[in-house]
Structure 1
Amino acid sequence: MRSAMHRPRRPRFFPLLPPLILLALLAGSIGGLARLGLQVADAGSPWVGSAAAQHGALMISAFLGSVIALERAVALKQGWTFAAPLLAGAGGLALLAGRAALGAWLGVAAAGLFVGVNALVLRRQLLPHTLLLMAGALCWLLGNLAFALRLAGFDPLPWWFALLVLTIAAERLEMTRLMRRRPAAEWSLYAVLALLLGGAALSPVLYGAALTLLAAWLLRHDIARRTVHAEGLSRYMAVCLLGGYGWLAVAGLAWVATTLGWPARDAALHGLGLGFVFSMVMGHAPVILPAVAGIKLLYGPWFYAPLALLHASLLLRLGAGPAEPELRALGAALNAAALALFALTLIAAALLWRARKENR
Structure 2
Amino acid sequence: MAARPLLLALVALSLLAGMAGGLLRADVALPAMAGSAWQSQAVLTHAALMICGFLGTVIGIERAVAVKLRAAFLAPLASGAGGAFLLLGQFELGAWLIVAAAFVFTAVNIVIVGRQRAAHTWLLLVAAGAWLIGNLLFATDQGTVATLPWWFAFLVMTIAAERLEMTRLMRRRPAAEWSLQIVLVALLGGAAWSAVAPTAGGLLYGAALVLLALWLAAFDIARHTVRAHGLSRYMAVCLLGGYAWLAVAGAAWAATALGLPLHDAALHALGLGFIVSMMMGHAPVILPAIARIKLEFGVFFYLPLAMLHLSLLLRLVAGVAGDPLRSTGALLNAAALALFAITIAGAAVAWRIKHGGHGTLPTGKAHP
TM exceeds 0.5?
yes
Distance 1:153 1:263 in 2: 16
Of 5, 8, 11, the residue aligned with 1:18 is 8
Task: Give distance in 2, aligned partners of 1:282 and 1:14.
Answer: 21
Paired residue for 1:234? 232
CA distance in 2, matches of 1:270, 1:46: 26
Provide TM-score, normalisation by structure 2.
0.93
C-alpha contact (below 8 Å) 2:252/2:265 kept by paired residues? yes
Superposed CA offset, 1:121-140 (max 9, x none): 01111110000000110011
Q: Which residue, out of 122, 130, 139, partners 2:130?
A: 139
Specify the alignment match of 2:156 in structure 1: 165
Q: Please provide the CA RMSD for this pair.
A: 1.3
* Cα distance, 1:152–1:265 mapped onto 2, change above 3 Å: closer
Aligned to 1:35: 25
Equivalent position of 1:346 in the other structure: 344
SS at match of 1:322: helix
**Does the Cα contact within 8 Å between 1:314 and 1:331 map onto a contact in 2?**
yes
- Partners of 2:265 and 2:322 lie apart in 1 by 14
Q: Is the 8 Å Cα contact of residues 190 and 203 (structure 2) preserved in structure 1? A: yes
Counterpart-to-counterpart distance in 2, 1:34 and 1:57: 15
User: Quick one: which amino acid aligns to residue 131 of structure 2?
Assistant: W
Preserved CA contact (<8 Å) 1:14 1:82 = no
Answer whether contact 1:34 1:43 (CA < 8 A) is retained.
Answer: no
What amino acid is the match of 1:313? S
Of the two structures, which has the highest relative contact order with CA contacts closer than 8 Å and spacing of 6 or more?
Answer: 2
Query: 1:13: how far off?
Result: 2.2
Match of 2:208 in 1: 210
Does residue 295 of the first structure (1) align with residue 293 of the second (2)? yes
Inter-partner Cα distance in structure 2 for 1:206 and 1:358: 53
SS at the partner of 2:240?
helix
Three-state SS of the structure 1 residue aligned to 2:131 is: helix
Report the equivalent of 2:187. Answer: 196
Moved over 4 A (4+): none
Other-structure match for 1:221: 219
Equivalent residue of 2:34, what SS?
Answer: coil
Q: Distance in 1 between matches of 2:173 and 2:232?
A: 25
The equivalent residue for 2:41 is: 50
Residues 154 and 311 (structure 1), Cα distance of their counterparts in 2 relative to 1, 3 Å cut: closer
**Does residue 103 of structure 2 align to residue 92 of structure 1?**
no
Q: How many residue pairs were aligned?
A: 350
- Secondary structure of 1:298's partner? coil
CA contact (8 A) 2:351 2:357 kept: no
Can you list the C-alpha shifts for 1:1-21, whole angstroms capped at 9, x where unaligned? xxxxxxxxx3x3232100000
SS at match of 2:321: coil
Contact 2:207 2:250 in 1 (8 A): yes
SS in 2 for 1:229: coil
**Equivalents in 1 of 2:278, 2:4: separation in Å?**
25
CA contact (8 A) 1:43 1:49 kept: no
Distance 1:359 1:275 in 2: 34
CA contact under 8 A between 2:137 and 2:143: conserved in structure 1? no
TM-fit CA distance, 1:326: 1.3
Aligned pairs (5 A) from 1:107-118:
107-118=98-109
| Aligned mates of 1:94, 1:116 — CA distance in 2 | 24
Give the % identical residues.
62
Question: Which residue identity lines up with residue 27 of structure 2 in the other structure?
Answer: G
2:270 alignment partner, SS class: helix
Say which is worse superposed, 181-190 or 67-76, in terms of deviation. Answer: 181-190
**Matches of 2:176 and 2:112 in 1, distance apart?**
25
Shift of 1:324: 3.3
The amino acid that maps onto 2:11 is I
Report the Cα offset of residue 152 of structure 1.
6.3
Distance 1:183 1:140 in 2: 29
Is the contact made by 1:146 and 1:154 (CA closer than 8 Å) also made in structure 2? no
Bigger drift between 318-327 and 130-139 goes to 318-327
On the 8 A contact 1:28/1:54 being kept in 2, the answer is: yes
Matched letter for residue 107 of structure 2: G
Amino acid at match of 1:22: A
- Say whether the 8 Å CA contact 1:317–1:329 is kept in structure 2: yes
Check conservation: 1:164, 1:277, Cα contact below 8 A.
yes
* CA drift at 1:161: 0.3
Q: Report the alpha carbon displacement of residue 325 of structure 1 after superposing the two structures with TM.
A: 3.7
Asked if residue 285 in structure 1 is aligned to residue 283 in structure 2, the reply is yes
Question: 1 CA distance for matches of 2:149 and 2:205?
Answer: 8
- Measure the CA separation in 2 of the matches of 1:183 and 1:219: 16
Structure 1 counterpart of 2:322: 324
- CA gap 1:314/1:82 in 2 versus in 1, 3 angstroms: same
Residue 320 of structure 1: how far off its partner (Å): 2.0
Match of 2:38, SS state, is helix
Partner of 1:357: 355
